[in-house]
Amino acid sequence: MDPVNNTVEANNEVKDGTTTGQKGLETIAPLICSVKETPDPVHAEIQGTIPLWINGSLLRNGPGKFEFGDTHYNHWFDGMAMLHKFKVEKGQVTYTSRFLRSDAFKENSERDRIMVCEFGTIAMPDPCKNIFQRFFSYFEMIKPTDNGNVNFVKYKGDYYVSTETNLIHKVNPESLETMEQVDWSKFIAVNGATAHPHYDPDGTCFNMGNSYGRQGAIYNIISVPPEKSSTEETLHGARILCSITPSNKSHPSYYHSFAMSENYVVFIEQPIKVDLLKILTSKIRGKAFGDAVYWDPELETILHLIDKHTGEVSPVKYYAKAFSNFHQINAFEEDGFLVVDLCCSDEGQAINIYSLQNLRKSGEALDEVYNTMSRVFPRRFVLPLHVTDDTPIDQNLNTRPSSTATCVKQSNIRIFCQYEDLHGDDLSQYGGLEFPHINYKKYNTKPYRYFYGCGFRHMVGDSLLKMDLNDKTLKVWYQKGLYPSEPVFVPSPDAVEEDDGVILSVILSPSQDKDTFLLVLDAKTFEELGRAKVPVKTPYGFHGVFSASA
C-alpha cells in the first residue's frame, strides 16, 4: 500500500491567520475536464481492508462536461451534472457514473452547443434563428437551469439532485437514472432552494429559497413534511414557514446553506450580494448570472433567528464584522445560548475566482491566483437567546467559560458578536478548512466534539482533516499529488463514541498513471484502512451523501 503521510512540508508563510506565499502548485487542469460516463459497474481493486460492515453507496455529484461542440463554459459551477456511485458491499466496491438527463443536458446535446444559460456562461442566440428572432431573444428573461450539479438531497425518502434554482430532479440511487423533474414553484412561491437542506430526527426537512417580485426579493424558510402518501407528489405539503425582508430588497444576499439547531433556523445574511437589475438585464448586456454577484466589505453580516415551531422571526438581530460563509458545521442550544459553528472567510470573492480559466492555469499564474484568495477557517459564534430590556448594554453576555467568543448588546434589537477560532495555529499550514462534515445523524443540533473537512493548500482540497474541539488539535491525512473530496462520516453499527466509524472520500490525481480510488479511514485514529481503485478518471466534484442499504 502506498505510504500515507500525516505531516505536510509547508512552503508557505503564516501571517495573521492567513496562508500566503504558496509556490510551485501542481496543475489540476486534468481534474476539471470533461469525462465519459460509466453506466456499467466497474469492479474496484482493493488495497488494504474495506470493513465488512459498510453496506451502502457513496453518492456524489459535480460537473463532468464543460463544452458542447465549439462552445465552452466559463465557470466551474456551469459543467453538466455527473452523478457518481461507489457501492460498498461485503468488502468489495463497484463504481458507476451517469450524466443527469436534465433539460439543459438534452437541449445542449441535441444542438451540440450551449443552449441554456448557467451561473457563469450566457447562452448566445441560436444561429438557426433569423435576425429578428435573434435580436428579440436578447430581451427575454433567462430561464433557470435544471443542471443539478451540486448535491444529492432527500425529500420524503426520495433522492434528488439539486443546484440552487427551482428545478430539481428525482433520481434512482441504484441505477443513477434520471426519473423526473420537479419544480419547487408548483408547490410553494419560491424561485429556488439551497442544495443543503437540514433534517429533524423525524425526517422533517428545512430549506431556504428566495421569492422575487415587483418589490424585490424575500428570503423564505421552507418546511417539507417527512412522509408522503402513495397518491401525493413528493413536495406536496411543503410550506413557507416564514419570510424575511432583506436589508436591501434589490440587492439580496447570496447564500449557499444555513444553520439549524433543535428549535431554530439560523439564516446568515452576508455581504455577498446579488444585483437584481443586472439579473434582469443580463441577456441584453451579454452577461451571465455570476456577473451580478459581488462582495461589499462595508456591510456587516447579520444572523437571523427563526423559531422552527412557530415561524416567528426574532426581533433581535445578531451582527458581526463582514464575513462570507458557504457551509455551516453545526449549531446547538446550551445554557441559554445558541452556538453556531461556521466555515468563514474575511472576504467573498471565491465565487468569481473559480472560473475554469483560473482552475486550469499552471506555474506562476496558478500560484498567483491561489495567493489572492482569502482562506476559510472554522469559527464559533455564541448568540444569547434571552435578550430583554433588562439585559445590560456594552458588556460581554457570553458566560460560557469554555468559549472566548463575545456577544455585546448594543440596543434591544442589536447584538454584536465576535467569533472564537475553532482551530489552532497549525490549521494555517493546511490552507484552512472547507467541506465540513460531522456525525450528522447523532450529533446534528447537539453539542459535539469532532468535525471533518478538507484542507485547501490548493484551489481544491488536498488533505483530509479531523478537528477535536476539546483541545483544537488536528489529525491529518495527506499524500502529495492526491486530491480528496469532502469527507463523509459513516457510523459503525454498534457505535458508542462520537467518532466510532469511518471516513469515506474519493481521491483524485491529475497524473495519468494514477487511478481514482475510494479511501476509507478509521474516523477515530484517521489511519487508512483501505482503498478501492477504479481505472476511471473522474473530475473534482462538490457534494455527496452515504446511502445505507436496507
Contact 448, 332 (CB under 8 A): yes
CA atoms of 172 and 334, how far apart (whole Å): 40
Asked whether 329 and 436 are in contact (CB, 8 A), the reply is yes
- Is the pLDDT assigned to residue 251 strictly greater than 50? yes
CA distance 240 to 262: 19
Three-state DSSP class for residue 527 = coil
Identify the weakest region by mean pLDDT among 6-10, 65-69, 239-243, 368-372: 6-10
Q: Which residues 6+ apart lie within 8 Å of 232 measured at CB?
A: none
Residue 509, SS3 per DSSP = coil
Is the pLDDT score of 100 beyond 70?
Answer: yes
Residue-wise pLDDT tens digits, 385-432: 999 999 999 999 999 888 999 999 999 999 999 999 999 999 999 999
Distance, CA of 483 to CA of 475 (rounded, Å): 17
**In what order do the strands lie in the sheet containing 151-155?**
151-155, 158-162, 167-171, 178-183
Q: Which three cell numbers stand for residue 83?
A: 452523478
Contacts of residue 186, defined as CB under 8 A and 6 or more positions apart, other chains included, come to 235
Mean pLDDT check: name the lowest of 113-127, 183-197, 271-285.
113-127
Beta strand 414-418 with 317-320: parallel, antiparallel or unpaired? parallel
How far is residue 465's CA from residue 92's CA, in Å, rounded to a whole number? 26
Distance between CA atoms of residues 32 and 508, nearest Å:
11
Q: Give me the residues paired with residue 93 across strands.
A: 88
Could you report the per-residue pLDDT of 335-382, keeping only the tens digit for each? Answer: 999 999 999 999 998 888 999 999 999 999 999 999 999 999 999 999
Q: SS3 for 431?
A: coil
Give the three cell numbers for residue 226.
417527512
Answer yes or no: is pLDDT of 126 > 70.
Answer: no
Closest by alpha carbon to 171, among 101, 86, 94?
101
pLDDT interval class at 148 (50, 70, 90):
very high
The alpha carbon of 18 is separated from its chain's Cα centroid by a whole number of angstroms, namely: 22
Listed residue (216, 100, 219, 228) closest to 160, CA to CA: 100
Region of residue 176 (left: phi > 0; alpha: psi -120 to 50; beta: else): left
For residue 61 the three cell numbers come to 455529484
Beta-carbon neighbour count of residue 249 at 10 Å?
Answer: 14
Name the residue among 407, 527, 367, 391 with its Cα closest to residue 21. 367
Residue 394, amino acid: D
* Residues belonging to the chain: 550
Share of the chain above pLDDT 90, in %: 85
User: Which secondary structure element, helix H or strand E, spans residue 368, and what is its range?
Assistant: helix 363-371
- Residue 523 CA to residue 526 CA, distance in Å, equals 5
* Res 227: pLDDT: 83
Average model confidence (pLDDT) for the chain? 92
Q: Report pLDDT for 174.
A: 96
- Bridge partners of 46, per DSSP, are 532
Q: Where are the alpha helices (DSSP H) in 420-477?
A: 440-443
H or E, element range at 179 = strand 178-183
Q: What is the pLDDT of residue 234?
A: 81
Residues 6 or more apart whose CB falls under 8 angstroms from that of 359 comprise 28, 29, 32, 76, 459
103 CB-near residues (< 8 Å, 6+ apart): 116, 146, 167, 181
Note the pTM of the prediction, 2 decimals: 0.92
What is the tens place of the pLDDT at every residue in 9-64? 334 434 334 445 678 999 999 999 999 999 999 999 999 999 999 999 999 999 99
Q: Half-sphere exposure of residue 232, counting CA atoms within 13 Å on the CB side? A: 16
Whole-angstrom Cα distance, residue 477 to residue 521?
A: 9
Q: What is the spatial distance between Cα 459 and Cα 511, in angstroms, rounded to a whole number?
A: 17
User: What HEC string does 217-278 produce?
Assistant: EEEEEEEECCCCCCCCCCCCCCEEEEEECCCCCCCCECCCCCEECCCEEEEEECCEEECHHH
Give the pLDDT score at 228.
76
**Number of Cα atoms under 13 Å in the Cβ half of residue 240:** 20
Q: Which residues of 11-38 are buried (b: 16+ CB within 10 A; e: fewer)?
A: ebeeeeebbeebeebeebebbbbbbebb
Residue whose C-alpha cell reads 466509524 in the numeric block: 501
Positions of E strands within 429-499: 433-437, 450-455, 463-468, 473-477, 483-484, 488-491
Question: Could you give the CA distance from residue 323 to residue 320 in angstroms, rounded to a whole number?
Answer: 8
Cβ neighbours, 10 Å, residue 55? 15
**Cα gap 142→290, rounded to integer Å:** 13
pLDDT at 230 over 60: yes
The radius of gyration computed from the CA coordinates of the chain, to the nearest angstrom, equals: 23
How high is the pLDDT of residue 134? 42
Q: What is the pLDDT of residues 444-463, one digit of tens each?
A: 999 999 999 999 999 999 99
* Distance, CA of 323 to CA of 318 (rounded, Å): 13
**Secondary structure (DSSP) of 385-409:** S---TTSPSSSB----TT---EEEE
Report d(CA 544, CA 537) in Å as an integer.
18
Give the Cα separation of 102 and 83 in Å (integer).
12
